[in-house]
């Protein structure tokens, strides 16, 4: 009886190990080279985007956003796999319907970098780096950067081949240089999160290797 029980337990352990290995192989795998098709110039369009102050809970919402970028082409590509040359926002509002203007630093001369880190099941995980921006409106002004007022920020995100959507979230963004007119809705040094989903055109397929 004891031998039988031991055999069952050992068999179960082997099965559990096999399941664990299977689950691991299904996870995103870190990669160093990428294949991008067709690559080249792309645009992205998003509906509602949000910048949320994680300390106060204040949300700055923009009705739509657009972006332009240039991606590398073909196989064997390394980071950055692309450069974002423009990000614009329209119809941005804050608490109480206050209107704001959001301006970003992304340009041909100072592009944000699109980096890939891992790939699994048609989804590429990565980050956007080099981010700075400013917001202003109704006597309230502030800048958006990284962990210090003079460092550039980063967001994390995913690109899904089947939907052609670049989904942005997370990262290390903070608000800085907040004016007194912001009335405590946001404060210098507050961590913030940007979220948005951009449909990329023409559709891209990114794989690794």
- The Cα–Cα gap between 187 and 14 comes to 54
Question: Burial level of 11, CB count in 10 A (0-12/13-18/19+)?
Answer: exposed
pLDDT surpassing 70 at residue 126: yes
pLDDT surpassing 80 at residue 38: yes
Strand partners, 99: 93
**Comparing C-alpha atoms, which of 85, 110, 186, 92 is closest to residue 143?**
186
pLDDT digits (tens, 9 = 90+) for 1-16: 434 433 333 334 333 3
pLDDT surpassing 90 at residue 28: no
Least confident of 11-15, 24-28, 84-88, 161-165: 11-15
Identify the residue whose tokens are 């917001």.
Answer: 135
pLDDT digits (tens, 9 = 90+) for 70-120: 999 999 999 999 999 999 999 999 998 899 999 999 999 999 999 999 999
pLDDT digits (tens, 9 = 90+) for 54-71: 999 999 999 999 999 999
- The Cα–Cα gap between 120 and 160 comes to 10
């Amino acid at each position: 009886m004891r031998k039988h029980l031991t055999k069952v337990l050992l068999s179960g352990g082997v099965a559990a190990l096999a399941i664990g290995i299977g689950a691991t192989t299904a996870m995103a795998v870190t990669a160093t080279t990428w294949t991008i098709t067709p690559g080249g110039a792309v645009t992205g369009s998003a509906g509602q985007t949000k910048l949320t102050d994680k300390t106060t809970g204040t949300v700055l919402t923009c009705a739509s956003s657009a972006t332009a970028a240039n991606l590398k082409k073909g196989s064997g590509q390394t980071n950055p796999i692309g450069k974002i040359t423009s990000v614009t926002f329209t119809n941005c509002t804050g608490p109480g319907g206050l209107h704001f203007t959001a301006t970003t630093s992304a340009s041909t001369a100072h592009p944000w970098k699109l980096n890939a880190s891992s790939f699994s099941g048609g989804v590429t995980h990565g980050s956007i780096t080099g981010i700075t921006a400013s917001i202003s409106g109704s006597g309230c002004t502030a800048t958006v950067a990284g962990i210090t007022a003079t460092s550039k920020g980063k967001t994390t995100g995913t690109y899904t081949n089947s939907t052609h959507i670049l989904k942005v979230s997370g990262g290390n963004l903070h608000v800085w240089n907040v004016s007194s007119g912001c009335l405590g809705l946001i404060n210098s040094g507050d961590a913030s999160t940007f979220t948005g989903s951009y449909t990329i055109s023409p559709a891209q397929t990114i794989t690794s290797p």
